[in-house]
């Protein structure tokens, strides 16, 4: 009987994390000339307008819980650059690029900081204007955040 109680206790404890985790809820953010799906924890935390000389270019979001920073914005002042040039500029201070796409209407870059502690990912696409998003997060949370980044990127590409 004691063995049964111990085994039942282990089973109950092992089920706790699965029960405690709720599926991520999503919402839509329209900003900077694009529309993307984002987890509601961004809207619940800290969202700020991106301003340049008093003109709004988009929105920044951050989540202290997940250690993540997201920007969604449009580029209105340099029409001759390729999307990759924009996103490289916006993320180049982040560190070493490990993946890039450079096409006339699409630019993508991802990588890690020089010390390997943070991951960054960014994408710009050109339509009438160039629209972009970029995100940076703690590498320790990569398993949780990579699927979130994939969904954001898929929703962003639907704008094109």
Reported as a pLDDT band with limits 50, 70 and 90, residue 131 is: very high
**Range from 5-14, 56-65, 103-112 carrying the lowest mean pLDDT:** 5-14
At residue 12, does pLDDT exceed 80?
no
Which DSSP category does 77 fall into?
Answer: S
Model-level pTM?
0.81
**Average of per-residue pLDDT across 13-31:** 65
- CA–CA separation, 122 vs 30, rounded Å? 17
Rounded to 5 degrees, what angle do the CA atoms 111, 149, 90 make? 50
Q: Round to whole Å and give the CA distance between 18 and 15.
A: 5
Q: Is 131 helix (H, G, I), strand (E, B) or coil?
A: strand
What mean pLDDT comes out for the span 117-146?
Answer: 94
| pLDDT score at 3 | 45
Domain ranges in the chain are 23-157
Whole-number average pLDDT of the chain:
83
Residue 89 near residue 99, CB atoms below 8 Å: no
Structure tokens at 126: 């050109």
Q: CATH fold of 23-157, please?
A: Protein Transport Mog1p; Chain A (3.40.1000)
Is the Cβ–Cβ distance between 30 and 43 less than 8 Å?
A: no
Residue 46 sits at φ, ψ, to 5 deg, of -130, 105
Helix or strand or coil: residue 129? Answer: coil
């Amino acid at each position: 009987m004691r063995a049964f109680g111990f085994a039942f206790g282990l089973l109950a404890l092992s089920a706790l994390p699965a029960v405690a985790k709720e599926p991520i809820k999503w919402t839509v953010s329209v900003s900077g000339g694009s529309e993307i799906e984002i987890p509601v924890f961004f809207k619940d935390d800290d969202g700020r307008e991106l301003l340049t000389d008093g003109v709004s270019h988009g929105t920044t979001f951050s989540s202290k819980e997940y250690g993540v920073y997201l920007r969604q914005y449009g580029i209105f002042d340099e029409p001759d650059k390729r999307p990759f040039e924009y996103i490289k500029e916006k993320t180049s201070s982040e560190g070493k690029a490990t993946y890039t796409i450079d096409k006339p209407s699409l630019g993508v870059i991802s990588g890690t900081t020089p010390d390997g502690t943070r991951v960054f990912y960014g994408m710009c696409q050109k339509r009438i204007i160039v629209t972009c998003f970029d995100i940076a997060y703690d590498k320790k949370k990569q398993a949780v955040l990579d699927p979130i980044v994939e969904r954001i990127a898929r929703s962003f590409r639907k704008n094109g």
